[in-house]
Amino acid sequence: MQAFNEDLAAVGTDSPKGRPDHRWDALVEGDRIHSPGITITEAHLVQWAGLTGDWVSLHLDEEYASKTPFGRRIGHGPLTLSVGLGLLTQTGYFSNVAAWLGLDEVRAVQPVFIGDTIHVEATVRLARETKKPDVGLWTLDYTVVKQDGSTVMTFTSSFLVRR
């Protein structure tokens, strides 16, 4: 633990230029955060497949996908999850994250198609102090929503945030 605290101190406390300097006490339980949106394109699917090696026909082969219950290609579930995490990061609340602790309760509710625009609505489930005086804990419930207001994915993610 001492090494973790020393590493944390070495990172510094300067926020990225032009980003809000939100710290742990900026959010309390029940607060809601809304992200900007992004329209998922074919390029997202192809780049994700290339990056991860997830070359599944349901995502990349229009002919194959047309014969599935979805009728067309769908975005990779982990792509939707990663984009959701990234979109919320754009709100500026994560400039002082000291550690990402992980994901829980991931559910893919419905597919994301090429051309869908998604955004995140997150609620702070937990904001509590820790034994470390320099960081607090945030646990957020993420809901990834597409343009028609329907939920496509839900998950929970936790972070240690500088105080």
Position 17 pLDDT exceeds 80: no
Tokens of 2: 């001492």
Q: What is the pLDDT of residues 118-163, one digit of tens each?
A: 999 999 999 999 999 999 999 999 999 999 999 999 999 999 999 9
Q: Measured on CA atoms in the order 155, 115, 53, 159, is the torsion positive or negative?
A: negative
Q: What is the DSSP letter of 14?
A: P
Q: Are the CB atoms for 70 and 58 separated by under 8 Å?
A: yes
Q: What is the DSSP letter of 25?
A: G
How far from chain centre, in Å, is Cα 62?
27
Average pLDDT over the chain, rounded to an integer: 90
Q: Are the CB atoms for 114 and 73 separated by under 8 Å?
A: yes
Nearest to 131 by CA among 14, 13, 12, 4: 4
Nearest to 8 by CA among 138, 156, 92, 133: 133
pTM of the model: 0.85
Instruction: Report the share of the chain in percent with pLDDT over 90.
Output: 82
Three-class secondary structure of residue 84 per DSSP: helix
Nearest to 120 by CA among 144, 139, 149, 146: 144
